[in-house]
A and B are shown apart, each in its own frame.
Chain A
Amino acid sequence: MRVYFFGTCIGSMVFSNTCVNAIKLLQREGAEVIFKKDQTCCGQPSYNSGYYEESKKVALYNMELFKGSEPIIIPSGSCTGMMKVDYIELFEGTEHEEQARKFSNRIYELSEFLDKVLQVKYNDLGEKTKVTWHSNCHALRVAKCIDSAKNLIRSLKNVELIELEREEECCGFGGTFSIKEPEISNAMVSQKIKDIQSRNVEYMLSADAGCLLNISGAMQKQGVNVQTMHLYDFIAQRIGIRG
C-alpha cells in the first residue's frame, strides 16, 4: 500500500523525530511512504483568524500537491480536522467543493489509520508505567479520532492509561489564540497542568504537537516534573523502534 505522509508545519519545524517515528510505524506495517518534498502547512493559522482567502490558496495548493488516490496520513488530529472537515467548509458552495470532499475521504490521522485500517497489534517491550492522555480539541470534535489513539495506548500491555478529569477542556493553545490572549491561555494551561499533576503519572501523552508545545513549555516554566511525549514517539519507544 502506498500512502502520502504529511508532516505538518510544527512537525517539520519542531517535531522532526516524531515524524520519523511516525513514518517508521507506517513502514512497519508494510506501507510504502511517499514524502512530498514540497509540502508545507495545512493552513490553520490563517483559517482560524478568519483569513479565508489566504486559507483557500493554501488548501488548493495542498489538494494539488497530494493529488491521486493514495491515503494521506497526518500525525496530528488538529491538521487532520483542518484537511478533512474544514476544507469542505471553506469551499462550500464553490467550484472546489467536490474536490475538497474527495480529498477529505483520503485524509487519516495516523492513529486512526493504524487502529482502524491497518488494525495493528503491538508487542509492548517496555517496563510497567502509568500515563495520561491529552485530547486535542480539533481531534476530539472535528476530526473525531481520539478513540483510536486511546485504543493504541490501551493495547500496550504494560501501560496503564489514567484519564484526565478535565480531558475535554482546551489546553489554551488554539494556535494564534495563545499569542493574542496569552493571559487567558496561561490560565487555561495552568488548569490543565494541575489536572495532569493530580493523576500521578510518569508521562502525559498527546498526538498534537501544538498542545504539547504549549503544555510542556508551560510545565517547564512552572517547574512541573511530568514528562510529556508525542504519542508516536511513545509507541515507537515501547515497541523498540529507534528514532
Chain B
Amino acid sequence: MSEALKQKYHNIVSQKLEDKQLRKNLLSVMDTLKGNRKKLIASRFYDWEALREQGKTLKQKNLAKLDTLLEKFESKAKENGFIVHWAKNSDEANNIVLDIMRKNNINKILKGKSMASEETHLNAFLKARGLNPIETDLGEIIIQLIDEPPVHIVAPAIHKNRYQIGEIFRDKLGAPLESEPEKLNEIARTHLRKEFKDFKLGLSGVNFAIANEGAIWLLENEGNGRMSTTACDIHVAFCGIEKVIETFEEASILNALLIPSATGAPVTCYNNIITSPRKEGELDGPKEVHIIILDNNRSNMLKDSHYYRALSCIRCGTCLNHCPVYDKIGGHAYLSTYPGPIGEVISPQLFGLNKFSPMLDLCSLCGRCSEVCPVKIPLAELIRDLRSERVGQGRKGVVGTDSSTQNKAEIKAMQSFMQIATNPKKWRLLLAMADFLSPLSKTFAPLIPGLKTWTKYRELPKLNGNLHQKVSKMQGVIYE
C-alpha cells in the first residue's frame, strides 16, 4: 500500500472525525434507521431468519447460473421490445448513454437513483462533453447542488440535516429558508417540475431484472423514479450483471428483505415493474427503453470461491447503518462510490486493490454487518480475506493485486509474532521481560511503535505477567 494513498485516507478520516455536525447527524439518523428496522422485524415478521436464509440461497443459486440467466434475460427482454447493451466497463457504459444522446440530439438527461451510474461516474463524463445530467432523487438533488458524491448507497445526503438542507436550497436555488421536511420537498418539487416538463431522456437503476419475463423492477419512495422512466421518450436503465434473477417470486422475496433492511418500512411507496417500452395503442411510456448490463469486474468476482457472495448484495445499505466506523466518519471518507462494509468488499474488487486497499483498515471486524445483512453475505470474513490478498496470501484473483505495494514492517512483525507464538521458550522469555519491564514500559511507551498510538488515547495497563509462576504454585493444577 503506498504511503501517499494511506496518508490520503488518514487525512480525510481525521477531517471527518473532527466534523462534529457530521457525526451528530450520522449518529442520529443511523440510530433511527437501526431502531426502525429492529422494531419492524420484531413486530411484523414471523420468521425473519428463515426469510434471510431463503434470500441467501436464492441469490447464490442464481449467481451459480448467472451466465445462462443473463442470456435468457437478454432474449426475453429483446422479445419484449427492450434494447439490450452489454458494457464491460465504465467507459463502455457511459459511451452507450452518450451515443443515445447524440443520435437523438438530446443534451439533458433526468436521472432517477442509480448507484451503477455513480460507479461509472456518468455525471462527470457527460458534463465533460457539454451535456447536462440532472438528478431527481431528493437526496441526489441536494448533493448535486453542493457538488458532492453520495455519502450512502441508499440515502445519498444522509449526512446533512434538514436545517443544512434548507440552507443549501436557499443558497443554490434562491428558495426561502425552510427546515420542515414538507416545505423542503415542496421546494425540490417546484425546482424539478420545470425540468420534467419537456424532457426526452430518463435514466434509472434496476433493483431486480427478471430473466423469465425479461422485465425490470424498480423501487423508490418519491415518485421521481416513475417520472424519470415513464414521462420521457427514451429510458435508459443501468443494471449490474448480478441484478438478474430467475423469477418474480424470487424478486418478491428479495423485495421483502430489502425495504425493511433499508429504512425499517414494510414497503416502498412505488414499485415500478417495467415489462416493455410503449406498445401500439398505449397512451404513455417511453418509446424506447435501453438496458445497459454492466460488468465492471463483476464477472471476475463471480469466479472467486468466496467473493462471489458479495454479488448477492441487494444494496439495502443496512450494513452501513450498523457499522460503528461508518457512523463516525461517513461515506466520503472511504474515497469510493461504495462506502461502509459492502463498499470495503466490492470497491477493491471493482476498481482495483492497489487503489483502494487502505479502506480495508476502516473496520474493527466486529461482524455486525454480517449479522444484519439480509442476504447473509459474510462481510467481515470477506474484508479479512481481502486483507490477506493485500499481503499476498489470498487467492490472488482480485484486480490490481499485482501492483499493490506491501507493508514490509508489518510482514516482518507478523512473521516474528508467529515464530514467538510457536516457540514456548521464547514466549516465556517475552512474558518475563514484559513483567520485568513493566514499570519502565510506561516511560518508553511513546517510543515503541504501536504503543505510541495506543497510549495517545488510553492509559497503559499495568503489566502483570507472572501467570506461569502463579499457576505453577497453585494447588491441584497440573502444570506440565
Which residues of A pack against B, CB within 8 Å?
A: 2, 5, 7, 9, 11-17, 19-20, 23, 27, 32-41, 43, 45-55, 57-58, 61, 89, 137-138, 140-142, 168-170, 172-175, 177-189, 191, 213-214, 216-218, 220-221
Rounded to whole Å, the gap between the CB of A40 and the closest CB of chain B is 4
Q: Which residues of A contact B411 (CB under 8 A)?
A: 51
Whole-angstrom distance between the Cβ of A8 and the nearest chain B Cβ: 10
Q: B454 interface residue, CB < 8 Å from A?
A: yes
Q: Is the CB of B479 within 8 A of A32?
A: no
Partner of B471, one of A20, A38, A40: A20
Q: CA of A58 to CA of B477 in the docked complex: distance in angstroms?
A: 25
User: Are A16 and B465 neighbours in the complex by a CB distance under 8 Å?
Assistant: yes
B415 to chain A, nearest CB (A): 6
Chain B positions 123-162 with a Cβ under 8 Å from a chain A Cβ: none
- Chain A neighbourhood of B470, CB < 8 A: 16-17, 19-20
Query: Does B13 lie at the interface of the complex (its beta carbon under 8 Å from any beta carbon of A)?
Result: yes
Q: Which of B384, B464, B480 contacts A14 (CB 8 A)?
A: B464
Question: Which of B43-51, B92-100, B366-374 sits within the interface?
Answer: B366-374
Asked if residues A40 and B424 are in contact (CB atoms below 8 Å), the reply is: yes
Closest 6 pairs (CB-CB, A-B) = A50-B387, A174-B364, A217-B458, A50-B388, A170-B366, A38-B424
- Give residues of chain B (428-473) contacting chain A, Cβ–Cβ below 8 Å: 428, 431, 434, 450, 453-454, 456-468, 470-472
Q: Which of A39, A141, A177, A214 contacts B458 (CB 8 A)?
A: A214
Give Cα A119 to B105, complex, Å: 78
Q: Which of A140, A170, A217, A221 contacts B461 (CB 8 A)?
A: A217
Shortest Cβ distance from residue B475 to the other chain A in the assembled complex, whole angstroms: 8
Could you jot down 12 A-B contacts, CB within 8 Å?
A12-B465, A13-B464, A14-B464, A40-B424, A45-B417, A49-B387, A50-B389, A168-B368, A182-B454, A187-B23, A216-B461, A221-B458
B480 neighbours in A (Cβ, 8 Å): 34-37
> How close is A138's CB to chain B, nearest CB, in angstroms?
7
B384 near A7: Cβ-Cβ < 8 Å: no
Contact A221 B478, beta carbon cutoff 8 Å: no
Do residues A52 and B471 form an inter-chain contact, with CB atoms below 8 A?
no
- Knowing that A49-B387, A50-B384, A218-B457 touch, tell me 14 more A-B residue pairs with CB under 8 angstroms: A17-B470, A20-B474, A34-B480, A37-B468, A37-B479, A40-B422, A43-B421, A50-B388, A57-B418, A137-B367, A184-B362, A188-B325, A217-B454, A217-B457
Whether A14 and B462, one on each chain, are in contact in the complex, defined by CB atoms closer than 8 angstroms, is yes
CB of B324 within 8 Å of the partner chain: yes
Where the two chains meet, the residues of B that have a C-beta atom closer than 8 Å to any C-beta of A are 13-14, 17, 23, 324-325, 328-329, 361-368, 370-371, 381, 384-391, 393-394, 410-411, 414-415, 417-418, 420-422, 424, 427-428, 431, 434, 450, 453-454, 456-468, 470-472, 474, 476-480
Q: Are A181 and B362 in contact (CB under 8 A)?
A: yes
User: CB distance A35 to B477 under 8 Å?
Assistant: yes
* Alpha-carbon distance between A170 and B388 when the two chains are bound, in angstroms: 23
B457 touches A189 (CB 8 A): yes
Give the complex CA separation of A27 and B365 in angstroms.
34
Q: Given that A35-B477, A179-B450 are contacting pairs, would A170 and B368 also be in contact in the complex, using a CB cutoff of 8 Å?
A: yes
Chain A residues near B478: list those with CB within 8 A: 2, 32-35
Q: Given the known A-B contacts A49-B414, A50-B391, are A32 and B476 also in contact in the complex, defined by CB atoms under 8 Å?
A: yes
Q: How far is the CA of A55 from the CA of B422 in the complex (A)?
A: 10
Is the pair B410, A49 in contact by a Cβ cutoff of 8 Å?
yes
Report the separation of the CA atoms of residues A168 and B463 in the bound assembly, to the nearest whole angstrom: 29
Given the interface contacts A11-B467, A184-B325, does A218 sit within 8 Å of B368 by beta carbon?
A: no
Name the CB-closest residue of B to A174.
B364
In whole angstroms, what is the CA distance A188 to B389 when docked?
A: 27
* Residue numbers in A under 8 Å from B453 (CB-CB): 178-179, 182
B interface: dominant SS: helix
Give the residues in chain A near B361, CB-CB below 8 Å.
Answer: 177, 180-181
Could you say which of B14, B431, B457, B468 has the most chain A C-beta atoms within 10 Å of its C-beta?
Answer: B457
Closest to A188 in B: B324
* Complex Cα spacing A221 to B23, Å: 22
Query: Inside 8 A of B370's CB, which chain A residues have their CB?
Result: 141
Output the nearest chain B residue to A8 by Cβ-Cβ distance.
Answer: B467
Residues of B within 8 Å of A34, CB to CB, are: 477-478, 480
In the complex, A33 Cα to B470 Cα: how many Å? 14
- Which A residues are CB-close (under 8 A) to B459? 216-217, 220-221
Q: Do A13 and B465 form a contact, CB below 8 Å, given A37-B480, A51-B393, A184-B362?
A: yes
In contact, A50 and B464 (Cβ under 8 angstroms)? no
Report A3 CB to chain B, min CB distance, Å: 10
Bound together, the chains give a CA A46 to CA B67 distance in angstroms of 38
Are A53 and B393 touching (Cβ within 8 A)? yes
In the complex, chain A residues whose CB is within 8 Å of the CB of B371: 141
- Best-buried of A20, A54, A172 by chain B (most CB within 10 Å): A54
Max chain A C-beta neighbours (<10 A), residue from B14, B427, B431, B477 = B477
Q: Contacts A32-B478, A48-B365, A141-B370; is A182 near B457 (CB within 8 Å)?
A: yes
Separation in Å of the A238 CB from the closest CB of chain B? 21
Q: A48-B365, A137-B366 are in contact. Are A186 and B457 (CB under 8 A)?
A: yes
- Complex interface: chain B residues within 8 A of A52 (CB): 388, 393-394
Q: Collect the chain B residues with CB atoms within 8 Å of residue A137's CB.
A: 364-368
Q: In the complex, are the beta carbons of B424 and A14 less than 8 A apart?
A: no
Report A-chain residues with C-beta under 8 Å of the C-beta of B381: 89
Closest to A215 in B: B458
Chain A positions within 8 Å of B434 at CB level:
13
The 8 Å CB contact of A142, one of B23, B367, B388, is B367
Smallest Cβ-Cβ distance to A182: which chain B residue: B453
Please measure, in the bound complex, the distance between the C-alpha atom of A36 and the C-alpha atom of B477, giving whole angstroms. Answer: 10
- Closest A residue to B368 by beta carbon equals A168
Give A141 to B366 CA distance when docked, in angstroms. 8
| Residues A46 and B457 in contact, CB atoms below 8 Å apart | no
Q: Which chain B positions have C-beta within 8 A of A170?
A: 324, 364, 366, 368
Residues of B within 8 A of A221 (CB): 457-459
**When A54-B414, A89-B381, A169-B324 are in contact, do A141 and B368 touch as well, CB less than 8 Å?**
yes
Give complex CA distance A11, B328 in Å.
31
- With A13-B465, A15-B464, A33-B477 known as contacts, the answer to whether A220 contacts B366 (CB < 8 A) is no
